[in-house]
Structure 1
């Protein structure tokens, strides 16, 4: 049953990522990979929130492993950073990597703080 919940959550997260990525790219003319950063920040926040709420193993499997796992994408962020380096935009790549880590970790902390305040 847990594997099925993870699979359904993962499928939902992947579809949400695809739609969100497309919508952000449609509205943004930036050459910076803002869509992936936004997706990873939102996913990090949700993960922190759910972790702090001490939900059941079932909810954690569905939301954290499934939805957040399918929604967020460290691998795409890594490929985008390498792409920036290949374009000889090393400073931009470094800023993107640092922003990805710092902002996502901050989003987890904010989600956890909100979760603790709600409990």
Structure 2
């Protein structure tokens, strides 16, 4: 049963990621992987908050493993890093790596703090 809950959430999250990517690229262009960065930052902060909030297990599966798991994307992030490196945009590679990893960790920690304090 929980696999179906996670799968339903993942479908919702993937649709959200697709539409968010399209919107960001339409507004800001596609010269740098801004959409994936923003999606992963948002997902990191929300997952940290969800962890701190400590909801019931089925809701955590739906929102965490499901929606946020389908919304965020490590594979696209990895692909974009490789593509930037293939284009020899090494400054962009380093910047994207640092912003993604450090920013994601800071946002997850901030979300956890928020979740623990406002549950």
Q: TM-score, normalised by structure 1?
A: 0.96
Q: Which runs of 5+ in 2 are unaligned?
A: none
Equivalents in 2 of 1:91, 1:28: separation in Å? 20
Displacement of 1:30 after TM fit?
Answer: 5.4
**Unaligned stretches of 5+ residues in structure 1:** none
Which moved further from structure 2: 82-91 or 24-33? 24-33
Consecutive aligned runs of 4 or more in structure 1 exceeding 3 Å deviation:
none
Distance of 2:14 and 2:24 partners within structure 1: 15
Separation in 2, partners of 1:91, 1:35: 18
Query: TM (normalized to structure 2)?
Result: 0.96
What is the distance in 2 between the residues matched to 1:9 and 1:103?
25
- Matched residue of 1:32: which SS? coil
1:29: how far off? 2.8
Q: Paired residue for 1:79?
A: 79
Could you tell me how far apart the structure 1 residues matched to 2:109 and 2:41 are?
A: 11
Pair 1:64 & 2:64 matched: yes
C-alpha RMSD over aligned residues? 0.9
Residue 25 of structure 1: how far off its partner (Å): 0.4
